[in-house]
Amino acid sequence: MDGSATSLGNAGTGTLVSLPATLIRGDGIGPEVTEATLRVLDAVGASFDWDEQVGGVTALESEGNPLPDGTVESIRRTRLALKGPLTTPVGTGFRSVNVALRREFALFANVRPVKSMVPGLRYDDVDIVLVRENTEGLYVGFEITIPVGDDRKAVAQSTAIVTRLGCERAVRFAFEYAIAHGRQRVTICHKANILKAVSGLFLDVGREVAEEYKGRIDVDDVIVDACAMKLVLDPSQFDVIVTTNMFGDILSDLMAGLIGGLGMAPGANIGEDVALFEAVHGSAPDIAGQGIANPTALILAACMMLDHVDEQGKATRIRTALEETIREGAQTTRDLGGNASTFEFADAVSRRLS
């Protein structure tokens, strides 16, 4: 991998030979979907030298910290990580582990592709990538509560922080991603009509960056509420969407709903030096250990990881096998209309790779 992790498929490794990577199996259904994903990676011949670490509740129980130093140092060393879903401990004063990882490694671009695979849904041709600024906005956590009289929480205030640098690197990433993946258009999503400072800056910078790609990538912009409506009415209107942190968080879940839910949605967190790949769904403790979780999201995240290290051929083979397995329907998990277990589903995908 070269010195920059800023674009998927830019690592320049050529043939993958036991590339060092950090593996975090996660909490709840995490260990199950991670094991299923590893089986598929083995079947396609993807060889990573995994350094297994812990995070979330599992790490809190074993090491007294949901984000241990060892996990952070491992990611810093390998610069590449695959992560199952983590649970942030409730009522302990700990902030989100996922947010902490993004801030620790300045993972400024969150990439969430959605593509139709599940037959019988309202739309069968969804193919959109959302690029979300990943470290700024309201999610910086600058919050206070102000007591008034006897009410200790009479006023609550959150401050959104948006910088020109943050806007520029997220938007530029979206345009570079579009070029690298043969996309035709980038849509800048904002709320500059109301949030004239923070969202206005994002839109202004987005338009400035877009000028550099004139003639190569088409560009338009849309207000976030109109974007949500248009996604539901006709998602084919969109190709690549780039937006701010909170808007991206909301819209990416909406987009996942168009293709069958969060069980179908992978994510990549990209920084200058580190790339972390994950399923975007939660740890689902209510079904943990039952062997019924859908591993598709993490398998697709592993495909994004393969893309990142220039193993697009293996990634394409996995995506094809995965889609064929889902569309055939004989060995799918319950959320996809079948009765297969997590590992039966993974094994069905793996057989198509042998």
Out of 139, 213, 307, 310, the active site residue is 139
Is 139 an active-site residue? Answer: yes
221 is catalytic: no
Q: 45: alpha, beta or left, given left = phi > 0 and alpha = psi -120 to 50?
A: left
Q: Which of 249, 307, 310, 314 is catalytic?
A: 249
Cα–Cα distance list, 44 to 41, 53, 70, 299 (Å): 5, 24, 30, 12
CA proximity to 60, closest of 89, 30, 85: 89
> For this structure, is 123 an active site residue?
no
Q: pLDDT digits over 30-81, tens only? A: 999 999 999 999 999 998 999 999 999 999 999 988 999 999 999 999 999 9
Which of 42, 124, 225, 234 does the annotation list as catalytic? 225
Give the pLDDT of residue 96: 82
Answer for the pair 24, 55: CB distance below 8 angstroms, yes or no. yes
Instruction: Extract long-range pairs of 139-147: CB within 8 Å, 24+ residues apart.
Output: 139/99, 139/245, 139/246, 139/249, 141/95, 141/99
* Residue of 83, 191, 221, 310 marked active site: 191
Residue 347: phi and psi, rounded to 5, are -65, -35
Measure the CA–CA gap between 346 and 98, rounded to whole angstroms: 26
Instruction: List average pLDDT for each run of 10 residues in the chain, which is 354 residues long.
Output: 47 61 97 98 95 94 92 98 89 74 95 97 96 94 87 89 97 98 97 97 98 98 98 97 97 97 97 96 95 98 97 97 97 96 98 94
- Residues 325, 331: Cα–Cα separation, whole Å: 7
- Burial classification of residue 275, based on how many CB atoms lie within 10 Å of its CB (0-12 exposed, 13-18 middle, 19 or more buried): buried
Residue type, 95: R
What is the sign of the dihedral through the CA atoms of 284, 285, 291 and 295?
Answer: positive
Domains, the chain, ordered by start: 1-110+260-354 (3.40.718.10), 127-258 (3.40.718.10)
Burial class, 200, CB count within 10 angstroms (exposed 0-12 / middle 13-18 / buried 19+): middle
Task: Specify the pTM.
Answer: 0.92
Q: How many CB atoms lie within 10 A of CB 14?
A: 9
Backbone phi and psi for residue 155, each to the nearest 5 degrees, phi listed first:
-130, 135
Tokens of 193: 């009509």
Told to judge if 249 belongs to the known catalytic residues of this protein, a careful annotator would answer yes
